[in-house]
Amino acid sequence: MNNKKLVILMEIAIMAGLSFILGKLAFSLPQGGSISFGMLPIVLVAFRHGLFAGMATGLLEGVISAMMGGYILHWLQAILDFGVASTVIGLAAVVRRPLLNALHDGNKTVITGYMTTGVLLGATLSLIAHVLSGVVFFSEYAGDQNPWIYSIIYNVTHMVPSAILTIIVGSLLFATAPRLLKVA
């Protein structure tokens, strides 16, 4: 294994751990869920190293979360909430090439636009996984309400603020320290 691959693997492991920690250092909501910066390390790896590295970071974070006390009712719910939902955040890397081109051009507005697009894509796909899990496995909490509406409202209340925080902090980080996106 060459040094570059080893560095990427170490970054994936470190950032997955950091994502887990940031997810635990969160503002917990009364109805459940929490608002955190947990997406930021996954997105950073995705933008630095691409799709595979970003998705691997998300998957590893999901596995760590599940192993460290994740609420699991069923194996499929575990896959949706801890596997799929975390992994798809790494799909933010689909805008990596134009983001790096904007970085090369020094256009901070375009950098922020692509970063926002990537985060929104990953967060939206993660939200879909959580909503499906909510409808299938947590519908009894909806009471008389439609389980789809209940699951969407429940998950949007923590996913959207987390995505907004990731966009704000990521934009500030990448605008003030664009070298974070450069791979040595």
- For each of the domains in the chain, give its residue range(s) and CATH number, in order of start: 3-181 (1.10.1760.20)
pTM: 0.92
Run of H or E including 35: strand 34-35
Alpha carbons within 13 angstroms on the beta-carbon side of residue 152 total 5
> What is the rounded distance in angstroms from the CA atom of residue 116 to the CA atom of residue 184?
24
Give per-residue pLDDT as tens, 117-134: 999 999 999 999 999 998
The per-residue pLDDT for 106 is 80
- Answer for the pair 144, 92: CB distance below 8 angstroms, yes or no: no
Q: What average pLDDT score do residues 82-110 get?
A: 91
Higher pLDDT, 182 or 65: 65
Q: What are phi and psi of 72, to 5 degrees?
A: -120, 125
> What is the rounded distance in angstroms from the CA atom of residue 169 to the CA atom of residue 175?
10
The per-residue pLDDT for 171 is 87
Confidence band for 183, pLDDT divided at 50, 70 and 90: low
Residue written as token pair 């934009």:
171
Going by C-alpha positions, the residue among 2, 181, 17, 25 that lies closest to residue 99 is 181
The per-residue pLDDT for 33 is 76
Q: What average pLDDT score do residues 78-88 get?
A: 95
The per-residue pLDDT for 1 is 67
The per-residue pLDDT for 108 is 83
Higher pLDDT, 28 or 144: 144
The per-residue pLDDT for 172 is 87
Confidence band for 63, pLDDT divided at 50, 70 and 90: very high
Q: Which of 68-77, 92-101, 137-146 has the highest mean pLDDT?
A: 92-101
